[in-house]
Amino acid sequence: MLITKLVSFFALISTIALVGCNKSETPSLNDASELLVKIGASAPLTGPQAHIGKDNENGTRMAIDDANAKGITIGGKKVHFELLSEDDQTDPKTATIVAQKLVDAKVNGIIGHLNSGTTIPASRIYSDNGIPQISPSATAVAYTAQGYKTAFRVMANDAQQGKVLGEFATKSLAAKKIAVLDDRTAYGQGIADEFVKSAQAHGAKIITREYTTDKSIDFSAVLTSIKGKKPDLIFFGGMDPQGAPMVKQLRSLGMKTQFMMGDGGYTPKFIDNAGVAAEGAYASLPGVPLAKMPKGLDFAARYEARFKHPIQLYAPYCYDAVNVMIAAMQQAGSAEPAKYLPVLSKVIYDGVTAKLAFDEKGDLKGGAITLYQVRQGKWQAVETIAGIQP
């Protein structure tokens, strides 16, 4: 592996490399009696969060391949599903461009985007064109609060998550003085704000509120400044590319302070990259642990067998999002966005992450949230809090 990597590096140097752009796959041959349904998906496939974005794409792809293998019919016609996957680069601007591209490609529905910061600006474009959108992972409250009929999500939002995290930090972990950091993205800021509200409501004091970006890896200065204020707990609203080096630098500064993140931290990569420093860190994830779901373990095993690595984060949610969309299409007897959209808001579907149903805003009804802690180098479920109302 080493030799091939180095050789390929120098071989590539001497050639002019063409960095290819993403090409959507060509549709397979289908006869006239078969209905072609295009599912658009978007997540960052390049950049720091590419590993999570690729995981989303994998989850979506698995659901689509399963549906094709099952030979699903909609309104009496056999259906062939096709995935159009686009890279939004975690960038709000790029997200609107790929959203328009997917709309122009006449997709029947959208699974995405991954981040709240990209999902929110893109949601307007889908709404204007009447295309149902299910985000597997955008948790910012603002996403479904815009009043768009087309916006749905299969994950508890930040208000629900922040509430649980704040309560857990103050009650179960008995934190009195809390330092809060966020990465200034729609998600990071949103969940940190909700966490602050909840922690303060439960009597904790927020001693400092600091910020970073979703591209930084050096936090020594800010952590040192936090160290001087001696908090009981540090909460970081952000994703694992920052969370892992942050907790590592925290421990290098000799601080034993508890470290907590939202769903953005709950990845195997967080533990890989932070190493022993990850031990004891907390994160939350909407939903019940996969092991407790009837179809959860089976899904995880099939995912690993197919993609040769464990689920990173949101793949099960993407899988559910596709399936709930297909279920709505089947009930409506049509894959036309205008026809199945009204059904989607009423459909109830038994997924791998939860029993899915949407409220009038498009949020998940009564979603459960599970808190996890790194113990012996693995995320272990600590507590599941069920039925959190938004």
Distance of closest approach, residue 222 Cβ to another protein, in angstroms: 4
What is the identity of the amino acid at 17? A
Q: Residue 47, interface with another protein (CB under 8 A)?
A: yes
Alpha-carbon distance 384 to 48, whole Å?
30
Structure tokens given for 185? 């993205």
**Site of tokens 């060509």:** 26
Q: Which residues pair with 286 in a beta bridge?
A: 369
Q: Residue 248, interface with another protein (CB under 8 A)?
A: yes
Is residue 384 a contact partner of residue 370, using CB atoms and an 8 Å limit?
Answer: yes
How many residues touch another protein under the rule CB under 8 A: the total is 48
CB atoms within 10 A of CB 341: 18
Region near another protein per CB under 8 A, out of 76-84, 169-177, 239-247, 297-305: 239-247
Q: Residue 280, interface with another protein (CB under 8 A)?
A: no
Q: Residue 231, interface with another protein (CB under 8 A)?
A: no
Q: Could you say which residues in the range 178-197 bind another protein, by CB under 8 A?
A: 184
CB atoms within 10 A of CB 145: 16
Alpha-carbon distance 154 to 319, whole Å?
10
**Site of tokens 């809390």:** 178
Q: Please select the residue that binds another protein; options are 73, 252, 380, 389, rule is CB under 8 A.
A: 252
Query: What does residue 331 show for φ and ψ, rounded to 5 degrees?
Result: -65, -40
CB atoms within 10 A of CB 141: 20
Q: Please select the residue that binds another protein; options are 34, 65, 128, 218, rule is CB under 8 A.
A: 218
Q: Residue 249, interface with another protein (CB under 8 A)?
A: yes
Per-residue burial over 344-362, b = 16 or more CB atoms within 10 Å of its CB, e = otherwise:
bbebebebbbbebebeebb
Region near another protein per CB under 8 A, out of 30-38, 117-125, 237-245, 345-353: 237-245
> Mask 102-141, x = binds another protein (CB under 8 A)?
----------------------------------------
Nearer to another protein, 8 or 380 (CB): 8
Is residue 154 a contact partner of residue 114, using CB atoms and an 8 Å limit?
Answer: no
Nearer to another protein, 131 or 192 (CB): 192
Q: Residue 142, interface with another protein (CB under 8 A)?
A: no
Q: Please select the residue that binds another protein; options are 147, 228, 256, 305, rule is CB under 8 A.
A: 228
Distance of closest approach, residue 17 Cβ to another protein, in angstroms: 6
Residues 6+ apart with CB under 8 A from 35: 74, 77, 78, 79, 80, 335
Region near another protein per CB under 8 A, out of 8-16, 108-116, 157-165, 185-193: 8-16
Of residues 255, 244, 242, 326, the one with CA closest to residue 63? 326
Any idea what DSSP says for residue 173?
S
Query: What does residue 290 show for φ and ψ, rounded to 5 degrees?
Result: -50, -35
Alpha-carbon distance 250 to 30, whole Å?
56
Q: Residue 45, interface with another protein (CB under 8 A)?
A: yes
Q: Residue 245, interface with another protein (CB under 8 A)?
A: yes
Q: Residue 73, interface with another protein (CB under 8 A)?
A: no
Q: Residue 206, interface with another protein (CB under 8 A)?
A: no
Q: Please select the residue that binds another protein; options are 28, 30, 146, 224, rule is CB under 8 A.
A: 224
Structure tokens given for 192? 């940190």
Q: Residue 147, interface with another protein (CB under 8 A)?
A: no
Alpha-carbon distance 153 to 120, whole Å?
12
Q: Please select the residue that binds another protein; options are 121, 166, 241, 351, rule is CB under 8 A.
A: 241
Q: Residue 333, interface with another protein (CB under 8 A)?
A: no
Q: Residue 308, interface with another protein (CB under 8 A)?
A: no
**Which residues contribute to the site for another protein (CB under 8 A)?**
1-2, 5-6, 8-10, 12-13, 17, 19, 45-48, 50-51, 184, 208-213, 215-218, 220-222, 224-225, 227-228, 241, 244-245, 248-249, 252-254, 269, 272-275
